[in-house]
């Protein structure tokens, strides 16, 4: 997929995997280094948060990395989009989240937008057979 807003040598998926690894390792400095200086974040996971700039991102991420739960930052699905990458993962509380990443021309994260991932309930196999 051609990403016209990025140089050809930037692997957006790799940047998102690095982001996920920094979260898993609770490594705030390397996590923040993945963001552009003017990066913004919009989060609908905890009633709505938005912030911009490194200091605000640090204030957002520090408590989430410190409140790490087992299974946090587990990868569920990752895929390129026409303007970035979409990642489904387990957040710091172990809740399924979908996050969209947009990048600047240097390959830094310019914007993230996330919210709880609505899942379609899986029907019990026996229930499906009973209704057949």
CATH number of the domain to which 16 belongs: 3.10.450.50
Per-residue confidence band for 36, with pLDDT thresholds at 50, 70 and 90: very high
What's the domain range around 86? 12-130
Per-residue confidence band for 8, with pLDDT thresholds at 50, 70 and 90: low
Report yes or no on 27 lying in a domain. yes
Whether residue 62 is predicted with pLDDT greater than 60 in this model: the reply is: yes
**pLDDT tens-digit profile of 67-119?**
878 788 999 999 999 999 999 999 888 889 999 999 999 999 999 999 998 75
Report yes or no on 4 lying in a domain. no
Report yes or no on 34 lying in a domain. yes
Report yes or no on 6 lying in a domain. no
Report yes or no on 39 lying in a domain. yes
> Distance between CA atoms of 30 and 15, rounded to whole angstroms?
11
Q: What is the total count of domains within the chain?
A: 1
Say how many CA atoms lie within 13 Å of 52 toward its Cβ: 5
């Amino acid at each position: 997929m051609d990403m016209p807003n990025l140089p050809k040598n930037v692997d957006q998926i790799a940047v998102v995997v690095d982001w996920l690894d920094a979260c898993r390792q609770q490594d705030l400095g390397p996590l923040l280094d993945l963001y552009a200086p003017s990066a913004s974040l919009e989060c609908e996971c905890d009633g709505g948060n938005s912030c911009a700039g490194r200091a605000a991102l640090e204030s957002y991420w520090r408590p989430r990395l410190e409140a790490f739960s087992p299974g946090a930052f587990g990868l569920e699905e990752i895929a390129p989009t026409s303007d970035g990458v979409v990642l489904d993962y387990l957040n710091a509380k172990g809740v399924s989240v979908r996050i969209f990443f947009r990048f600047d021309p240097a390959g830094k994260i310019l914007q993230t937008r996330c919210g709880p991932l609505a899942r379609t309930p899986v029907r019990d196999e026996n229930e499906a057979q009973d209704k057949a």
